[in-house]
A and B are shown apart, each in its own frame.
Chain A
Amino acid sequence: MQSSISLSLSSASPISVRSDGGANSAAPDLFFSNSSTPNQLRFCGLRREAFSGCKSSNNAVLFKQLRPKTKISASLSSNGNSAKGFDYDLVIIGAGVGGHGAALHAVEKGLKTAIIEGDVVGGTCVNRGCVPSKALLAVSGRMRELQNEHHMKSFGLQVEAAGYDRQGVADHAQNLATKIRNNLTNSMKSLGVDILTGFGSVVGPQKVKYGTVGGSETVITAKNIIIATGSVPFVPKGVEVDGKTVITSDHALKLETVPEWIVIVGSGYIGLEFSDVYTALGSEVTFVEALDQLMPGFDPEIGKLAQRVLINPRKIDYHTGVFATKITPAKDGKPVQIELIDAKTKEPKETLEVDAALIATGRAPFTNGLGLENVNVETQRGFIPVDERMRVIDSKGELVPHLYCIGDANGKMMLAHAASAQGISVVEQVSGKDHVLNHLSIPAACFTHPEISMVGLTEPQAREKAEKEGFEISIAKTSFKANTKALAENEGEGIAKLIYRPDNGEILGVHIFGMHAADLIHEASNAIALGTRIQDIKYAVHAHPTLSEVIDELFKSAKVKSDVSSAVAEPVPV
């Protein structure tokens, strides 16, 4: 009993989901009688040192818990006492992955924490982004394998024609989102984070109000405020989204239709992932990309290879160097119309007529109505300006005390896990420990089949930096074709690429295209985060035969100058 509860307290893992409120409220009593040290109960499973100084507050918590309260915190109640004179130590506006990560860490730090959510817990990632799209991609990956007769035959497998049930696929995505959302909600509830429902906005320094539009509004005070309101799909001018034939990722993830021919505007990772899903389900895809080449933002070499594998052999064509100036949904028996102009000359080029269009031109920060004017903050193209510690900067260029912004809303790195990492960094700061997040150590992944992942700089970025700072860079590459496990899976297509400094062995960037690339990148991102040099990590041992040997071989093939001491791994300021 005790161990199972401790699990639910110590992690946001799915295990906590099923612990219903009744069981939890009974738990303190039980523990109280079973154990002599209440605070051990509260935090069993977590590192003790993280909670030094929390003892008194824990007692208070438990005491409070024994009496039924009407507050939202149904389970273990709130955590910690708020600082004197404030309702909360920390109020987070937005319960996406960033806000959730910050809240969990804040509880760990003993801060009394509330989180305000106007929509559903989980934000974009869980409800309209990474999570449901992974469900669709899991389906598309299997479809792709089953449809690839050659691939199956090479395993000696015989598969009858593979088919799918659209609603079943859509349900899988929806169920996954619901499950993860519940996990997130329950993990916060069980830790005693107050979940306040309504749209939150800043009304003044250290003051936040929340409530529904036209309904009652409540003002609360907080020692520190984190804005984590995330982003929404960016829809360019001239594009009319009807949610049926002209859609954004929000609609596409519901998979209400599988159009025969869909245009995807934007060939970044969102567009790329959807092209993987749609083509696996039988659609034909046309990319419209404003830049001269597909997949801008990826390392050019990886992009080239990815295009050879993910675009060229599939039922995909593309127009590059064009803007979609006007997109009209299908109506009155007419198809979706997309007017293209040349991105440089602005001359009309072509009109596409297709069954559907997916707008994947990126994401815009969701920062309207946040009351930023009350603290004299002006957004820049919607983004809230922050410094390297996520402290909000006002229109005069000065820091706004006690106000932070994390995640997509600040635009530093629009990735769920980056938001979460930024949130944890902020919590570290407000609990008295300076912390600066090294964004170059944050990996990114695109979950196509095969996957693409990256961390750090691309080759052109590294070359530019090297030129500016006067050092040399080298490139090492390994192929999945030489990896036993990849060949066993008949997935030899792929490369890993390392960009490094031969003079000191510093890893500048790693890019992987191949099977399970998204899982393989972390060895590199951890090395960058911890300042591990190639000459040290190359001696690390990898299980054989595993895909991780691709990375092992990558590090081993790097040529670091021999006179470099291997003991240079001084901690990088992270």
Chain B
Amino acid sequence: MVSLSKQSMMAQLLNSSFTPTTRGLRRQSIPSITQTTSRKSQIQAKIREIFMPALSSTMTEGKIVSWVKSEGDKLAKGESVVVVESDKADMDVETFYDGYLAAIMVEEGGVAAVGSAIALLAETEDEIAQALSKAKEQSSSSSSPAPPPPPPAETTIPDPVPVATVVKAAPVTVVASTHPASDGGKRIVASPYAKKLAKELNVDLSGVVGTGPMGRIVAKDVEAAAVSSVAAAAESAKPISAAPGVELGSVVPFTTMQGAVSRNMVESLGVPTFRVGYTITTDALDALYKKIKPKGVTMTALLAKATALALAKHPVVNSSCRDGKSFTYNSSINIAVAVAIDGGLITPVLQNADKVDIYSLSRNWKELVEKARAKQLQPQEYSTGTFTLSNLGMFGVDRFDAILPPGTGAIMAVGASQPTVVATKDGRIGMKSQMQVNVTADHRVIYGADLAQFLQTLAKIIEDPKDLTF
């Protein structure tokens, strides 16, 4: 247990409006200093940020165990609002201001650094909406809530494969639950764990086919749906026939996006590229993925993270040649991931993928995909990539190569991880899961040895992935 004085001191130091309630603390009157938000967005109103308090002297981050109050609830000074788990104990944290819990920025189960905002407190009901929009603004940068779905199915690459074909290959499953009691789809019958999973993976149960007893939705149905979610969801909005609905014998002009892809592809011919491949064993990565998948971590995020960590050691692979005369060494490692979307292709960017932790990275990815689907990506969210990832593994593609997007130095094509019989050095034969990756790079700045060393580092990280989760 931490001494009271230290706790309250810490709370003050952190300008937190929240202080932990442990024995006796309730009676301590702590003049709490809440920072009224006035950073970039000059919000005048009394919207206060609620910070992750320091519950012990050794605490650097805290986990939100549960929100005692929900968004929109009125708070009275001294009421418990959130339960925070520190390295030592779970504690109720109470507010020192009256007001309304306007927006929860870190959901239950989420982790936030001490001193970072976890919610917004509005003084009046009118300010809730204002606070909400503010929360949205911040959420993309801060460690934000709700674990994302694993969306590997949507990724594709800038390569000669016609996009329409890719989309057709994606499983399109939009059938209402066939549970006999589902009232013709009006009711959804899903088991408790299926419901929990659906919430975690952000899967809409109304689009999931139940294969359990009596046609109810069970956990594996949700998992299956989550895998195909992005592609399926993108398609579900329009009639099923739309995707393969290409009228044969007709000429269809490019959309704006397709036009842009076309221009870029032609432009890429002016860059002298070469390719280097590598086979990486993924048993350890698969095991890690299985373990942290329930926490919302996606394979895309894991691959991006691994790549970013390898890039950090080989800055030249993260560089580019802008003018044909110089190296541009990028200051940050931004991993762009190719995503097939609505008859086109876009590359949402995971900023600072080497520095952001895997959980936040997964959440960011989920948001980006959602925005991409809603066509709301801002230019900086798809044009700032310094290295591109393209993954066709989910379609069973075991190897391919990708065209280098202009303005970047390298792109990596990731194939499927497959069980492979391998001979080991001691003369034994064993089964290992292996995947092939193939990097296309601009030879003006990146040479063969650079790529070779980068791939060696990447293989090491993926084969011993403990650093991915810190």
The answer for the CA separation of A315 and B198 in the assembled complex, in Å, is 12
Q: CB of A233 within 8 A of chain B?
A: no
Q: Which of A112-120, A423-431, A472-480, A566-574 contacts B (4 or more CB under 8 A)?
A: A472-480
Closest Cβ of chain A: how far from B447's Cβ, in Å? 42
Closest Cβ of chain B: how far from A570's Cβ, in Å? 28
A315 and B88 contact, CB distance less than 8 A: no
The answer for the CA separation of A476 and B181 in the assembled complex, in Å, is 50
B192 and A317 contact, CB distance less than 8 A: yes
Query: Which residues 89-112 in B have Cβ within 8 Å of A in the complex?
Result: 89-90
**Residues of A with Cβ closer than 8 Å to B?**
149-150, 260-261, 284-286, 304-305, 308, 312, 315-317, 335, 351, 353, 355, 475-479, 481-482, 495, 557, 559
Q: CB of B35 within 8 A of chain A?
A: no
From the candidates B83, B89, B218, B219, name the one contacting A481 in the complex (CB within 8 A).
Answer: B89
Q: Which residues of A contact B195 (CB under 8 A)?
A: 317
Q: CB of B324 within 8 A of chain A?
A: no
From the candidates A149, A317, A482, name the one contacting B88 in the complex (CB within 8 A).
Answer: A482
From the candidates A150, A284, A308, A559, name the one contacting B191 in the complex (CB within 8 A).
Answer: A284
16 cross-chain CB contacts under 8 A: A149-B291, A150-B291, A260-B212, A261-B213, A308-B83, A312-B66, A316-B192, A335-B213, A351-B181, A353-B179, A353-B189, A475-B23, A477-B22, A477-B23, A478-B1, A479-B1
Closest Cβ of chain B: how far from A305's Cβ, in Å? 7
B23 and A317 contact, CB distance less than 8 A: no
Closest Cβ of chain B: how far from A277's Cβ, in Å? 16
B194 — nearest CB in chain A belongs to which residue? Answer: A284
Q: Mark B54-66, 1 if CB is under 8 A from A, else 0.
A: 0000000000011
Closest Cβ of chain B: how far from A313's Cβ, in Å? 9
A260-B89 contact in complex given A284-B191, A308-B66, A477-B23, C-beta closer than 8 Å: no
The answer for the CA separation of A529 and B153 in the assembled complex, in Å, is 65
Most chain-A CB neighbours within 10 Å: which of B24, B193, B218? Answer: B193
Q: Mark B209-226, 1 if CB is under 8 A from A, else 0.
A: 000111010110000000
B90 and A305 contact, CB distance less than 8 A: yes
Q: Apart from A482-B1, A559-B24, list 11 A-B contacts with CB within 8 A.
A: A260-B218, A261-B192, A304-B66, A315-B193, A315-B196, A317-B192, A335-B181, A353-B214, A479-B88, A479-B90, A495-B90
The answer for the CA separation of A308 and B109 in the assembled complex, in Å, is 11
A482-B89 contact in complex given A149-B291, A476-B23, A559-B24, C-beta closer than 8 Å: yes
Q: Which residues of A contact B192 (CB under 8 A)?
A: 261, 284-286, 315-317
Closest Cβ of chain B: how far from A417's Cβ, in Å? 31
Most chain-B CB neighbours within 10 Å: which of A315, A355, A477, A559? Answer: A315
The answer for the CA separation of A495 and B189 in the assembled complex, in Å, is 37
The answer for the CA separation of A267 and B19 in the assembled complex, in Å, is 33
A353-B88 contact in complex given A260-B212, A317-B192, C-beta closer than 8 Å: no
Closest Cβ of chain A: how far from B164's Cβ, in Å? 40
Closest Cβ of chain A: how far from B450's Cβ, in Å? 37
Most chain-B CB neighbours within 10 Å: which of A305, A353, A355? Answer: A353
Q: Which residues of B contact A477 (CB under 8 A)?
A: 22-23
Q: Which residues of B contact A495 (CB under 8 A)?
A: 89-90
Closest Cβ of chain A: how far from B463's Cβ, in Å? 19
The answer for the CA separation of A482 and B55 in the assembled complex, in Å, is 14
Q: Mark B6-45, 1 if CB is under 8 A from A, else 0.
A: 0000000000000000111000000000000000000000
A335 — nearest CB in chain B belongs to which residue? Answer: B214
Q: In the A-B complex, list the 8 residue pairs whose CB atoms are closest, starting with the nearest.
A: A315-B193, A317-B192, A479-B89, A284-B192, A284-B191, A353-B181, A284-B193, A261-B191
The answer for the CA separation of A286 and B194 in the assembled complex, in Å, is 12
Q: Which residues of A contact B24 (CB under 8 A)?
A: 559
**For this complex, into which size category does the number of interface residues on chain B fall?**
20 to 34
Closest Cβ of chain A: how far from B197's Cβ, in Å? 9
Closest Cβ of chain B: how far from A147's Cβ, in Å? 13
The answer for the CA separation of A479 and B65 in the assembled complex, in Å, is 15
Query: Which residues 330-361 in B have Cβ within 8 Å of A in the complex?
Result: none
B87 — nearest CB in chain A belongs to which residue? Answer: A481
Q: Which residues of B contact A286 (CB under 8 A)?
A: 192
The answer for the CA separation of A267 and B88 in the assembled complex, in Å, is 30
The answer for the CA separation of A305 and B89 in the assembled complex, in Å, is 12
The answer for the CA separation of A530 and B45 in the assembled complex, in Å, is 59
Q: Which residues of B contact A353 (CB under 8 A)?
A: 179, 181, 189, 214, 216
The answer for the CA separation of A522 and B89 in the assembled complex, in Å, is 24
Closest Cβ of chain B: how far from A134's Cβ, in Å? 25
Closest Cβ of chain B: how far from A352's Cβ, in Å? 9
Closest Cβ of chain B: how far from A281's Cβ, in Å? 14
Q: Which residues of A contact B216 (CB under 8 A)?
A: 261, 353
Q: Which residues of A contact B213 (CB under 8 A)?
A: 260-261, 335, 355
Q: Which residues of B contact A260 (CB under 8 A)?
A: 191, 212-213, 218
Q: Which residues of B contact A308 (CB under 8 A)?
A: 65-66, 83
The answer for the CA separation of A482 and B218 in the assembled complex, in Å, is 39
Closest Cβ of chain B: how far from A95's Cβ, in Å? 40
Closest Cβ of chain A: how far from B181's Cβ, in Å? 5
Q: Which residues of A contact B83 (CB under 8 A)?
A: 304, 308
The answer for the CA separation of A476 and B24 in the assembled complex, in Å, is 8
Q: Which residues of A contact B219 (CB under 8 A)?
A: 315
B22 — nearest CB in chain A belongs to which residue? Answer: A477
A287 — nearest CB in chain B belongs to which residue? Answer: B192
The answer for the CA separation of A71 and B24 in the assembled complex, in Å, is 65
A557 and B214 contact, CB distance less than 8 A: no
The answer for the CA separation of A241 and B144 in the assembled complex, in Å, is 48
The answer for the CA separation of A476 and B196 in the assembled complex, in Å, is 35
The answer for the CA separation of A351 and B189 in the assembled complex, in Å, is 10
A153 — nearest CB in chain B belongs to which residue? Answer: B291
The answer for the CA separation of A312 and B88 in the assembled complex, in Å, is 21
The answer for the CA separation of A557 and B3 in the assembled complex, in Å, is 12
B88 — nearest CB in chain A belongs to which residue? Answer: A481
Q: Which residues of A contact B88 (CB under 8 A)?
A: 479, 481-482
The answer for the CA separation of A304 and B216 in the assembled complex, in Å, is 30
Q: Which residues of B contact A482 (CB under 8 A)?
A: 1, 88-89
Closest Cβ of chain A: how far from B446's Cβ, in Å? 39
The answer for the CA separation of A149 and B88 in the assembled complex, in Å, is 23
Most chain-A CB neighbours within 10 Å: which of B22, B24, B88, B90? Answer: B90
The answer for the CA separation of A149 and B291 in the assembled complex, in Å, is 9
Closest Cβ of chain B: how far from A275's Cβ, in Å? 10
Q: Which residues of B contact A284 (CB under 8 A)?
A: 191-193
Closest Cβ of chain B: how far from A299's Cβ, in Å? 14
Closest Cβ of chain B: how far from A561's Cβ, in Å? 14
A559 — nearest CB in chain B belongs to which residue? Answer: B24
The answer for the CA separation of A192 and B432 in the assembled complex, in Å, is 70
Closest Cβ of chain A: how far from B7's Cβ, in Å? 14
The answer for the CA separation of A285 and B192 in the assembled complex, in Å, is 7
The answer for the CA separation of A316 and B194 in the assembled complex, in Å, is 10
B287 — nearest CB in chain A belongs to which residue? Answer: A149
Closest Cβ of chain B: how far from A73's Cβ, in Å? 53
The answer for the CA separation of A149 and B287 in the assembled complex, in Å, is 12
Closest Cβ of chain B: how far from A282's Cβ, in Å? 10
Q: Which residues of B contact A149 (CB under 8 A)?
A: 291
Closest Cβ of chain B: how far from A340's Cβ, in Å? 13
The answer for the CA separation of A40 and B83 in the assembled complex, in Å, is 62
Closest Cβ of chain B: how far from A484's Cβ, in Å? 14
Q: Which residues of B contact A478 (CB under 8 A)?
A: 1
A553 — nearest CB in chain B belongs to which residue? Answer: B1
The answer for the CA separation of A545 and B193 in the assembled complex, in Å, is 38
